[in-house]
Structure 1
């Protein structure tokens, strides 16, 4: 049975609301039957305010409550070279949607209440989004680019890429994604780690082609993010008006200063150049594993340049958000890497909550724990404002006020405990 929201008050929690600089103890949060937050304050005050509706009262026992996480680089139908790609390619459309639905369910149960999809195939993501919105299946809120766009034979052509050539070809490809309902546009402007017949620093689009993508997308009010590796190619795209860089394996000090000055965002996906065991378990070919891991030191340096120069950064794992990695999930490990690279813990939390909401244009409805916003919430047993690794203690997940995971049974009816 699909969970639904109910009048509920969470009390006795230590709240990190996404706005302040620390967790505040003895807080209460009233969640309305419409799935939004109706009150936030001291536990007793919120209980008094909500008493007229006779809500369910959930005592969190001093545990930590914070906004649900947002992962900005997700492929629910991920098909890396090797066995994963073969499984995706063999699947018919119905099988593909079911495969993606399972990944979506696991993603939500891992505390990620919103995802930004940056390349799926056969428009299955739009069917899945509709099913989640209708309450037919469990899954995070989806913002999707539809197909990633690439040149003929370019990065992703054999996975989720839609091939095009020339300015007119890319204009048409953008419009096809917009026609399907894309929230943003993803374009591959260089090679990457998963393309056998390319290198990370292989430029793949001309300026005319990039300008065509950006022009149509911006005319339609959509942002554009680019799979990109080398600094010179990224610099050309930034000059043309790019909104966001994915991976950025070879950023420089100068380029990150330009990105910061122009408000160009960065989703580093730092895990993808240091996840050897995941590659082994996924059966990817040796050439891809070697390329990814050898890119690691330069990729790390790119992240540090971006941090040092104030580039706006959002969390994105590229690995399946729920994938097991170093005894946690890829999403949590990505945040831990970001902190290890020099990002303050509070900034890392914001990079996974309010900052992505800002990029997506939904900061008015999600990303923090405030009155009127969606009740997308997770609970932990440790304080994430002191140590980002506290996210490893996740035990409760709500989206739009509905409970999707409750390891401790805290929200179960009292007579069922």
Structure 2
């Protein structure tokens, strides 16, 4: 049995360990009554309303009562806030909670066990969808979609594609130089694939698409967690990145790149990418170019206010601190030039960081109003997910509370448009969590 097939099979066995199951649906319909709606697009809550969910869709919304034929499960919202499920535009579910050394040295089945818990925990934080940007997540996604385990909807990129010595090259020093036909542990696990030359990049892109990637992730510049590359370096050439873009476009989807610096981002834009992830070290001219080209900016609120997974004084920690310096300016430029901006967390190698997902969303209030923050984490992030076009694994509208939209919903005790800190404490404030019309939490 192949490693990836084994990981898929493992998901079923993991459930016996105790993930929380969705409530069995005893009724054909679920009716939320007496709720005030944040619809994902506006700046204020609605008047008291009713919302009817049938199957996995929102079918009716009314500020009067809704009459339902047949059986219905009624949920008295008690004037609480009903809003779309949250979306994280930058996750690595397979690498979220374990230390980096554990990911690199343990069998991938152990990593999958940890990822199963991480996926359930993410859903319990109210994040019902995630764009996963690197890692062998296909089996985890399949287990979630089949109902074997609980977790968010996943838009998987599959393996990160990296040049030799790039941000996705996690080969150990004793694995270099590479021998013909020899694959590293990370490549065998489909965590990150090393490819040098346009033809090699094209092949690796096609492989991830064949496995079910909804978008492709290319490493276009230096990074923090990798050991070989300084953060300022530019990676790949325009023809190499363009090879990935062309292969993805032929499948109706897009490429996003990891990049921090102006040179790396400009090169990626020239190659035709549609999204930049990170970019904390950009300048004004490059930000303006992103706006002109309609390129998405997937930013993370990285500041030095939480424990780092990297030792003080290490090369990784120094790169991290250098990157942190640009966060304030990056958000200022995104607002100044009206760049389409997404919210993501990019939690890696730290259970504490993964658990702070809601705290990171609340921290976005440093740069945006609560309405802008919640709009970004719902409606706007859903628009980014829609770039996957026909490769989207979940047809339908997300990120809004509208008739005909998919029923991913949160019922929050309080008004997050007035108090954004509510999202930082989902255990106490998120009373109902629904994904795809199924209730995963109800503490009313």
When the two structures are superposed, what TM-score results if normalisation uses the length of structure 1?
A: 0.88
Shift of 1:227: 0.4
Cα distance 1:320–1:354, how it changes in 2: closer, same or farther (>3 A)?
Answer: farther
Let me know the Cα RMSD of the aligned residues. Answer: 2.3
- Displacement of 1:331 in angstroms is 2.7
Which position in structure 2 is the counterpart of 1:274?
304
Among candidates 344, 350, 372, match of residue 347 of structure 1: 372
SS at match of 2:44: coil
SS at match of 1:249: coil
Change (3 A) 1:405 1:284: farther
Q: Distance in 1 between matches of 2:108 and 2:351?
A: 23
After TM superposition, the score normalised by the length of structure 2 is 0.83
Contact 1:109 1:397 in 2 (8 A): yes
What's the counterpart of residue 382 of structure 1?
414
Within 5 Å, which residues of 2 pair with 1:297-316?
A: 297-316=325-344
The answer (yes or no) to whether the contact 1:229–1:248 under 8 Å persists in 2 is: yes
Q: What is the distance in 2 between the residues matched to 1:363 and 1:35?
A: 12
* Contiguous gaps of at least 5 residues in structure 1: 411-417
Q: Cα deviations across residues 205-235 of structure 1 (Å, max 9, x unaligned)?
A: 1111111111111122111110001111101
The Cα of 1:193 is off from its aligned counterpart by: 1.0
Alignment of structure 1 residues 108-187 onto 2, 5 Å? 108-120=123-135, 123=136, 125-158=137-170, 160-187=191-218
Cα distance change of structure 1 residues 284 and 12 upon mapping to structure 2, 3 Å threshold: farther
Q: Report the Cα offset of residue 35 of structure 1.
A: 2.0
For 2:350 and 2:165, locate their aligned partners in 1 and report how far apart those are by CA, in whole Å.
Answer: 30
Matching residue of 2:17:
none
Runs of 4+ in 1 over 4 A off after TM superposition: 320-325
1 CA distance for matches of 2:313 and 2:159?
Answer: 24
Q: CA deviation at 1:299?
A: 2.8
CA distance in 1, matches of 2:407, 2:215: 24
> What is the deviation of 1:340?
0.9
Alignment of 1:1-400 (within 5 A): 1-5=21-25, 6=27, 7-32=29-54, 34-42=55-63, 44-46=64-66, 48=67, 50=68, 52-78=69-95, 84-120=99-135, 123=136, 125-158=137-170, 160-271=191-302, 273-279=303-309, 286-319=314-347, 324=352, 329-341=355-367, 343-361=368-386, 364-392=396-424, 393-400=429-436
8 Å Cα contact 1:76/1:103 also seen in 2 = yes
**Number of the residue aligned with 2:176:** none
Query: Helix, strand or coil for the counterpart of 2:307?
Result: helix
Residues 2 and 336 (structure 1), Cα distance of their counterparts in 2 relative to 1, 3 Å cut: closer
In the aligned structure 2, how far is the partner of 1:26 from the partner of 1:303? 35
CA contact (8 A) 2:96 2:348 kept: no
